[in-house]
Amino acid sequence: MTRTRWISLLGRYGVVVALLLLILFGWLRYDYFLGFFNISSVLRYNSMFALVALGMCFVIMTGGIDLSVGSTAALGSVVAALFSPQGTWIGLGAGVGAGLCVGLVNATLVTRLKIMPFIATLATMLAASGTALLLADNQSVSVSYDSGFTSIGQDNFFGFPIPAWIALAAYVAGWIILNFTSTGRGVLAVGGNEDATRMMGLPVGRIKFLVYLASGGLAGLAGVILASQFGAGQPIEGVGWELFAIAAVVVGGTLLTGGVGSVGATLAGVLLLGILFNVLNFENGKGWISLSAYWQSVIRGLFLLIVVVLQAKLAARGDAAVRDH
Amino acid sequence: MDTDILLSMTGIDKRFAGIPALSAASFTVARGEVHALIGQNGAGKSTLIKVLTGYHRRDAGEVTFDGKPFEVSSPQQAQANGISTIYQEINLVPYRSLTENICLGREKRRFGLLDWASMHREAENLLQRFNIRADVRRPLMEFNTATQQMVAIARAIGFSAKLVIMDEPTSSLDEREVGVLFNVIRQLKQDGVSVVFVSHKLDELYAVCDRVTIMRDGRTVKTARMDDIEKIDLVSSMLGRSMEKTEGHATAFTARDEKNIGKVLLSADNLAVGQIVQDVSFTIRSGEIAGFAGLLGAGRTETARLVFGIDRLKAGAMTYGDKRFEPRRPSDAIAAGMGFCTEDRKSEGIVPDMSVAENMMLALMPKLAKSGVIDEKAQQEIVKRFIRQLGIKCSGPDQKVRELSGGNQQKVLLGRWLAMNPRLLILDEPTRGIDVGAKGEIQSLIKSLADQGLAVLMISSELEEVIEGADRVFVLRDGISVAEFGRAAATEDALMGAMAHGNAPVVAEARI
Amino acid sequence: MTGTSPMTRTTARRFDPFDFLARYGTLIALLLLILFNLVFTRNFATIQTLNVNLTQVCTIVIVAVGMTLVIATGGIDLSVGSLMAISGALAPMIFLGKIMPIGNIYLAVAAAMLVSIAVAGLFGLFNGWLISAFRIQPIVATLVLFIAGRGIAQVMTNGNLQTFRVPQFQFIGLGRVLGIPVQVILMLLIVLAAAWMLKRTVFGRQIIAIGGNERAAELSGIAVARVKLLVYAISGLCAGLAGLVVIAINSSSDANLVGLGMELDAIAAVAVGGTLLSGGKATIIGTLIGAMTIQLVRYTLLANGVPDAAALVVKAGIIILAVWIQQQGRAHA
């Protein structure tokens, strides 16, 4: 029992400890690590991933998965770029709207047609990417620089990048929804035991529908930031984002089988993986070693492996504990 | 109408695919009463409960609850209308906290957001009524089964249930936990809540129930006050001494020649695992049919699983053909020459999408293959032989097994083991859910197999089958082997007596 | 899966359109496509068109064969694309002598092929180990290498493109025997071997039995863990071979691109081919037909002026349709 609890504590706070240690390491070792420029560029870049990971976190908590987030973001960036001449808000709304459309398709496939989440979202991953390429005519779409659209991704607000504020707002909202609304608790209950949740009288179908919709919308929002930050809608961006998001969510202690999860720890997971990349850059800058950027996916996979094995052991122990009594 | 009646169900009919599961069943529960509902497997208890809670739609009959006609189409609706069910496999969410499990579905809010403080307080209060002090913020999975059950009950009370149905609530509890549960039930009763208590442990019924309703073959056969009915009457009403089969043989088993019985093949001493099997000892000789009798939940299937290496022994030892036998997995038992026809054909026996031949050859296949390649011809011959010998009705060896009737599926599974030429065959409820004709065929087959020297361990809930089929009968009661009878001594009265009283410590005295 | 009430299985055989479509839909679609192309697409009935389509479909089929076996046990292997990248990265390093110089080019090529395929097989074994020893869900377990595998390949090559011109090696991608491309021969050999294995060997039966009813399989004495281990190893081996074919065709190996998106193509071929995604029923020939159908749809669209991006959307639709029909056929059966 105590051992189970120990592992679950590790699962819960391990990521925060690791994050703090990594920041401490960076601060002690590199001169400009905690400098304003580095902090704001890390935040600016990772806020897109943070948004995608937030949606993924909710989907995974219900026991599902959304593999379409990367190409949904790409589609969102293209649509936002196409609409950007009409104004900042219209561009923003169009990008998010495109994401919501993909989310709607996913939600319908999973909850109405009962298609396995990973097959459904793999297919929409293809479809979204194809649509993005069609709309963009196979090239990147430049955004309008007159309408102020680029300020979403490039400007600061109270000294911090706007994308970081957006991500922060999304996480606060996500945290409140998860912890202080019935829908949020329903998300965790569905992932923990779908049949029991249905027997308890909760609207299982609606809860699942909402998480896929939200995941699509957040991916669209990430796409808007992408377009605005780099000045173009990019139909071939977003490859592998789903992997980053899944890794961040799982490293944050959310069970891939659903039922246990935390919004805060997901944010910590995103920052941990993002800053790891940043540290790698600094380390290469020092010239002692030269670890290529490619190491990050190996390390990401390694993190995932450790967490997944730990989770499996925890689940086995949990089962045994239930059986013994 | 009598205002003391909370629930009344009359003339309930329910058919599945034309086969009646309930015929004119009735059931009445008074306010503040603890009412036992008992019956054999397939007697219709769970169908009755599922009809009541809206899981199944009834074909005919009337239900009144709390003075009004009661029409619900789902367990959720039943819950909202005051009937909560606590299932055997606890239907809660293990990873979530006690509070959430108690309050999900009727959360408290403040300013539109969940009010955790008051939800925790409510959960604590509900649990305290049952003298349970627990950190309601911890996930459910960290607590033992008894506490989890209390949580389920607390949830039901929180939904202001007027009737709580408990489906075998004590099957995985130890004695102390059972005591706690009984206190909770008495508490509920004091508060005017009615409880329907489904259990097979007779002592428990006397300890906590006011009345009992006994079901058999989809009918209500008897309702009585617990004070007015003897244990032996409970058992005989449940097993149904069928009036129509008074003389002669009720089964296809015929007399056996003692000469066919050889020396002891398997002896098991003091087997135990968990709460279900506590102390079981028995022996089986080659050429002998050994029967396991007992009520549901007596630990018969669980004992068989130990022998076949599906579960690991916690205590006790087995000897098989003069050697110590410690199977770690089914393949060990199979290698030792055992076969096991499970009770649950569908989930543990057949591979539904495979053909008759493939299903039958599943265990033998590796032996029959030449360097991993299936010897199709040899297989076909064996399969055809068994189809003929066992009289399996199918369009041919290549028909999908899921298209067959239950009796024929069972024969395919028998064929799977017989093809291995085993020394010991374990048959768990070999004739359950099988039509009368096929039943007789399977019974005579079992006998002729034993005549050829096969040792058979037969678990059956049908008394006739054990009495007429088995050379020796072991009676299990609450996980303990309480009695052994030879063919002559194995009478209905003797077996029922052992099932009802045994010589195990009586729970009713152990608690208080 | 929802529990079927006993009511649904009352009557015996009626004609069920979903069941019919689940069985023969893909074959009919393939024939219709061929018919359509014969009428509307110019130069369709040529050896060249056949070769183009067959070459394109080869690597997908090779990977999909392994995937079919994995799916037949009720699992899934998301790591195949990454394993292709690993074997594709490793082989040139060996035959170009970057790891250690090997004098004889034939020896070098043989070593390269054997080692890189074996390494991919070992990674597959690792997947199987995670799944059977820790009881991790297949989709989660193979996700680890899905993410890390490509990184490993990129780290090995430092992300650089490896180009080469080694005919002895590239024979598997560019060579011809009796006018038939070697990779087509490889594909057919693998398909036939796997189809035979699934139908005629003990191992094949055990795979199907595990997917059909794992409890029953275990109670019948089948070593479930060992079968699963082997199946994932085979999937790794297939991916390793496919990786070699891809780089042989391209005369170069780019760890960023080899096998990208292959897991979806393979799963799609398996699903469209009629293998149950929940396990217990599998057809290798179906997988071949499924892969060819998807390829021919794409070819038809492209040959008739539809952009490649739109073909992606159509492909997504086909996958969903196939899985949906299969589920309906199942629910009605």
Higher pLDDT, B430 or B106: B430
* Average pLDDT of the residues in B342-355: 87
For residue C260, the tally of other CB atoms under 10 A from its CB is 17
* Chain region(s) in chain B for CATH 3.40.50.300: 5-82+162-239, 260-510
Q: Do A295 and C150 touch (CB under 8 A)?
A: no
User: Which one of A123, A134, A297 has the shortest CB-CB distance to C150?
Assistant: A297
* Per-residue model confidence as pLDDT tens digits over C131-164: 998 888 898 889 889 888 988 998 888 888 888 8
Chain C residue with CA closest to A195: the answer is C2
Span between the terminal Cα atoms of chain B, in Å: 37
pLDDT of residue C117: 96
Domain B260-510 = CATH 3.40.190.10 = no
pLDDT of residue B506: 37
Instruction: Measure the CA–CA gap between C171 and C183, rounded to whole angstroms.
Output: 9
pLDDT tens figures, C247-301: 999 898 998 888 888 888 899 899 888 888 888 888 999 999 999 988 888 888 8
pLDDT at C99: 78
Q: Of C76, C150, C313, which is closest to A130 when you measure between CB atoms?
A: C313
| Ordered strands of the B68-69 beta sheet | B19-30, B5-16, B60-65, B68-69
Tell which A residues from 195 to 214 touch B, by Cβ distance under 8 Å.
Answer: 195-202
Q: Answer whether residue C330 shows pLDDT above 70.
A: no
Q: What are phi and psi of B280, to 5 degrees?
A: -120, 125
Q: What's the pLDDT at B346?
A: 82
In this predicted structure, what is the pLDDT of residue C168? 86
Nearest to B114 among A4, A181, A193 (CB): A181
Q: Do B104 and A322 touch (CB under 8 A)?
A: no
In chain B, residues 85-124 whose CB comes closer than 8 Å to chain C? none
Place of tokens 């057809």: C283
Confidence band, pLDDT 50/70/90 cuts, at residue A5: low
pLDDT digits (tens, 9 = 90+) for A234-275: 888 888 788 889 888 988 888 888 888 889 989 999 998 888
The chain C residue lying nearest A314, using CA atoms, is C134
Write the CB contacts of B161 (distance below 8 Å, at least 6 apart in sequence).
B79, B82, B83, B84, B193
C135: amino acid identity, one letter: R
Running DSSP on this structure, what letter comes out for residue A109? I
Touching subunits for chain A (3+ Cβ pairs under 8 A): B, C
* Closest chain C CA to residue B337: C221
Interface A–C counts its CB contacts (< 8 A) at 129
Nearest Cβ partner of B354 from C200, C203, C212? C212
Q: Give the pLDDT score at B244.
A: 42
pLDDT greater than 60 at residue B460: yes
Contact residues for C287 (Cβ-Cβ < 8 A; gap 6+) = C61, C64, C65, C67, C68, C191, C269, C270, C273, C275
Mean pLDDT of A317-324: 49
Look at B95 and A185 and tell me if their CB atoms are within 8 Å.
Answer: no
- Chains B–C, number of C-beta pairs less than 8 Å apart: 84
Tokens 């996916």 belong to A297
Report helix, strand or coil for C166.
coil
pLDDT score, position B510: 34
C325 near C276, Cβ under 8 Å?
no
For an interface test with B, the pick among A6, A60, A199 (most B C-beta atoms closer than 10 Å) comes out as: A199
In tens, the pLDDT along B232-288 reads 888 888 877 543 444 456 677 777 777 788 889 999 999 998 878 889 999 999 999
pLDDT at A148: 80
CB distance A120 to A110 below 8 Å: yes
Q: In chain B, which residues touch A (CB < 8 A)?
A: 75-76, 79-80, 91-96, 100, 104-105, 107, 113-114, 116, 141-142, 144-146, 148, 172, 274
pLDDT tens for residues B470-512? 999 999 988 899 989 988 888 888 888 888 877 543 333 333 3
Is C321 part of the contact surface with chain A (CB cutoff 8 Å)? no
Rounded mean pLDDT of C223-241? 95
> Given pLDDT bands bounded at 50, 70 and 90, which one contains residue C14?
low
What confidence score (pLDDT) does residue C15 get?
A: 66
Is the pLDDT at B440 greater than 60? The verdict is: yes
Which of chain A's residues have a Cβ under 8 Å away from the Cβ of B107? 182, 185
A315 at the B interface (CB within 8 A)? no
B456: pLDDT strictly greater than 70: yes
Closest CA to B465 of B486, B446, B437, B485: B446
State the pLDDT at residue B507.
37
How far is the C-alpha of C262 from the C-alpha of C268, rounded, in Å? 10
pLDDT digits (tens, 9 = 90+) for C208-217: 999 999 999 9
Mean pLDDT, residues B415-429: 91
| 3-class DSSP string for B372-398 | CECCHHHHHHHHHHHHHHHCCCCCCCC
Q: Which tokens sit at A184?
A: 């949020």
Q: How far is CA C208 from each of CA B453, C14, C227, C277, rounded to the nearest angstrom?
A: 34, 27, 10, 12
The CATH number of B5-82+162-239 is 3.40.50.300
Query: How much of chain A exceeds pLDDT 90, in percent?
Result: 41
A295 vs B240, more confident: A295
Rounded distance, CA B299 to CA B259, Å?
31
Q: Which of B253, B258, B282, B259 is nearest to B270 (CA)?
A: B282
Q: Phi-psi category of C177—alpha, beta or left, where left has phi over 0 and alpha has psi -120 to 50?
A: beta
- Binary contact (B92, A196; C-beta < 8 A): yes
Residue C222: C-alpha distances to residues A142, B249, B447 (Å): 60, 40, 29
pLDDT of residue C318: 87
Q: Is the pLDDT of residue B347 over 90?
A: no
Q: Are B78 and B54 in contact (CB under 8 A)?
A: yes
Cβ of C5 under 8 Å from any chain B Cβ?
yes
Domain residue limits at A33: 2-324
CATH number, position A166: 1.10.3470
pLDDT at B1 over 80: no
* Residue predicted with more confidence, A33 or A324: A33
- Strand segments, DSSP code E, in B274-320 are 277-285, 289-293, 315-320
Extract the tokens encoding A239. Answer: 């490859």
List of residues 6+ apart from B287 with CB closer than 8 A? B260, B261, B262, B450, B451, B452, B453, B454, B455
Tell which residue, C169, C158, C152, C160, has the closest CA to residue C96: C169
pLDDT at A26 over 50: yes
Nearest CB among C202, C212, C222 relative to B352 is that of C212
Query: How far off is chain B from C12, nearest CA to CA, in Å?
Result: 8
Chains that touch B (3 or more CB pairs under 8 A): A, C
- Point out the residue among A132, A133, A297 whose CB comes nearest to the CB of C147: A297
From the list C203, C276, C280, the residue facing B372 with the nearest CB is C203
| pLDDT recorded at residue A2 | 57
The answer to whether the Cβ–Cβ distance between A301 and C139 falls below 8 Å is no
**Each residue's pLDDT tens digit, B102-117:** 988 888 888 888 889 9
Res C29: pLDDT: 83
Contacts of C11 in chain B (CB under 8 A): none
Percent of chain B at pLDDT exceeding 70: 95
What's the mean pLDDT in A152-171?
A: 87
Chain B interface test: which of C202, C203, C275 (most B C-beta within 10 Å): C202
Which pLDDT belongs to residue C11?
39
* Average pLDDT value for chain B: 85
Instruction: In whole angstroms, give the CA distance from residue B153 to residue B155.
Output: 5
Q: Which of residues 124 through 183 in chain A touch C, CB cutoff 8 A?
A: 124-127, 129-134, 138
Q: Which chain B residues are closer than 8 Å to C203 by Cβ?
A: 372
A295 reaches C (C-beta below 8 A): yes
A253: helix, strand or coil: coil
Which residue does chain A place closest to B55, by CA atoms? A199
Instruction: Check if the interface score ipTM surpasses 0.85.
Output: no
For residue A21, pLDDT over 70 is answered with yes
Residue window 241-280, chain A: list those with CB within 8 Å of chain B.
255, 259-260
* pLDDT tens-digit map of C250-263: 898 998 888 888 88
Cα–Cα distance measured from residue B489 to residue A304, given in angstroms and rounded to the nearest whole number: 64
CA angle C1/C7/C13 to nearest 5° reads 90
- At A10 the pLDDT is 65
CA distance A151 to chain B (A): 34
Which tokens in the block code for residue A230?
């780099």
